[in-house]
Amino acid sequence: MMKEYSCKTQTILYIAILGTEAMPGWQRNYLTLLAQRDLPAWGLPSKPQMTDRLFKMLAVAHGTPWNASAIGQSLGLNYQTVNSYMDYLEGAFLVRRLQPFHANLKKRLVKSSKVYWRDSGLLHALSGISSMDSLLSQPWVGASWEGFVIQQALSRLNASGAVCAPYHVRTSDQYEIDLVLDFGTERWACEIKLTADPKADDLARLNKVADLIGAEQRLLISRTQNPLESGTSASLNLPGFLAKLGERQRKL
């Protein structure tokens, strides 16, 4: 069985030794090493040049519905081959395909998974981002934040031993929930916004979709400095969200 290759741990160690000025060059070298040595050793049949191109295309696709046919057309591969390559990348804990939530609802649901890089530092390196100012000027910075929050939440739950199935929800009329946490006994609907000033309308829109799936908790996660909680709804920042997950586990 392939063991987890922790990009985040490697990054933290590297910063401790050499400092942040060496980033993102080290991250690009790390991806090159994966494409040329580690992934082929684990059985990936793709040539390193093809794997590198796939990495870059997945950076563009981060936070969007997974479309193996479109990726395959750009790479000159069929969708079955692209999906098989993705299986290896998921097995190496590089990317995540967040599955769609399935339920018998009145609204039609989009059935595509969404793809995310687990380590946002690797995403930024692939996209040529080397500073916070550069990142914040990108049109996809919201998707980067979304993927970062999802990874932090699922990592926290995994470390605590929680049994939880993660999903996303998107309806055909563009209503969505970025992260659904299904604990078996309850569901949490989590919407993620980059803004530091979330609006009441954001929480109202979340509640509308959360009602469709019967979510017991409705959480709006942003960069707010003024967290609010009322009943089953809350507007939280990331530390507050992670604390709430930890509190749930402690009560079990």
226: how many CB neighbours lie within 10 A of its CB?
9
Residue intervals of the chain classified under CATH 1.10.10 are: 7-94+107-138
233, pLDDT greater than 80 = yes
At 14 the pLDDT is 36
Mean pLDDT check: name the lowest of 3-7, 47-51, 203-207: 3-7
Question: pLDDT tens, 21-40?
Answer: 545 688 899 999 999 999 99
pLDDT value of residue 11: 40
Q: Is the pLDDT of residue 9 over 80?
A: no
pLDDT at position 249 is 87
**pTM of the predicted model as reported, rounded to 2 decimal places:** 0.89
pLDDT at 23: 56
Q: Check pLDDT > 70 for residue 134.
A: yes
Instruction: Quote the mean pLDDT of the chain.
Output: 89
Beta strands in the chain (DSSP E): 64-65, 95-98, 114-117, 165-170, 176-182, 187-192, 217-222, 228-230, 233-237
CA 19 to chain centre: 26
- Assess contact for 218 and 203: CB atoms under 8 A: yes
Spatial separation of the C-alpha atoms in residues 182 and 145, rounded to whole Å: 22
Judged by phi (left if over 0) then psi (alpha if -120 to 50, else beta), residue 108 lies in beta
Report the pLDDT value the prediction gives residue 24, as an integer from 0 to 100: 65
Instruction: Using the predicted structure, report yes or no on whether residue 162 has a pLDDT greater than 60.
Output: yes
How high is the pLDDT of residue 5? Answer: 37
- What pLDDT, on a 0 to 100 scale, did the predictor assign at position 227? 96
For residue 49, pLDDT over 90 is answered with yes
Choices 1.20.1050, 1.10.10, 1.10.287, 1.20.1530: CATH for 7-94+107-138: 1.10.10
The candidate with the shortest Cα–Cα distance to 146, out of 211, 241, 210, 51, is 241
> Looking at domain 147-251, which of 2.60.40.290, 3.40.50.720, 3.40.50.620, 3.40.1350.10 is its CATH number?
3.40.1350.10
Q: Which residue has the higher pLDDT, 172 or 46?
A: 46
Quick one: pLDDT at residue 172? 79
CATH 3.40.1350.10 boundaries in the chain? 147-251
8 Å CB contact between 219 and 244: yes
Sheet hosting strand 95-98, strand order edge to edge: 64-65, 114-117, 95-98
What is the pLDDT at residue 10?
A: 40
3-state class (DSSP) for residue 167 = strand
176 has a pLDDT exceeding 50: yes
Residue holding tokens 């920042």? 237
